[in-house]
Amino acid sequence: MQTVLVVIHLMVVIALVAVVLLQRSEGGALGIGGSGGFMTGRGQANALTRATAVLATIFFATSLMLTILANLQRTPKSIFDTAPASAPGQAPANTAPAGGNLFDQLKQLEDKRQETTPAAPGK
């Protein structure tokens, strides 16, 4: 389903670019359909404006559908699902101690590190 939708989306994108480039340039020199040729006059403006609006609507619809399909296939993730299990009242071995903000936790880790390292001789 998603592959078919991507193919339709790409065809709409190519058609939308072509229709925008065919529109008559009004001094900005962005369109290639500025002088005579394929369609002229008021008919060109109405047809190309309508085609641009239809293609833009289809483009937004396919974009929304692709987003919805992508989100349906994604599994929700939570930080609580990845947290290691530990006994009540016991902090996990490889994580920072609980309580306080980040600076308090870093201070506690530094204090523990200083307690476990032997003091240098001569002090």
Phi, psi angle pair for 117, to nearest 5°: -85, 135
Does pLDDT of 44 surpass 90? no
pLDDT confidence of 42, banded at 50, 70, 90?
low
Model pLDDT for residues 80-120, shown as the tens digit of each residue:
766 565 556 555 555 545 567 788 888 888 888 888 776 66
- The interaxial angle of helices 41-73 and 2-22, nearest 10 deg, is 150
Q: What region does 122 belong to: left with phi over 0, alpha with psi -120 to 50, or beta? A: left
The pLDDT, as a whole number, for residue 104 is 83
Quick one: tokens of 71? 């989100």
Determine contact, residues 55/12, Cβ cutoff 8 Å: yes
Q: Which residues of 48-72 are buried (b: 16+ CB within 10 A; e: fewer)?
A: beebbeebeebeeebeeeeeeeeee
pLDDT at 25 over 60: yes
Q: What is the mean pLDDT of residues 64-74?
A: 90
Average pLDDT over residues 37-57: 77
- In the chain, where are the structural domains located? 2-73
Supply the pLDDT for residue 38: 52
- Which of the two residues, 65 and 110, has the higher pLDDT score? 65
Q: Show the DSSP H helices in the chain as ranges.
A: 2-22, 41-73, 79-82, 102-116
Q: What is the pLDDT of residue 113?
A: 83
pTM above 0.75, yes or no: no
Query: Binning pLDDT at 50, 70 and 90, where does residue 41 land?
Result: low
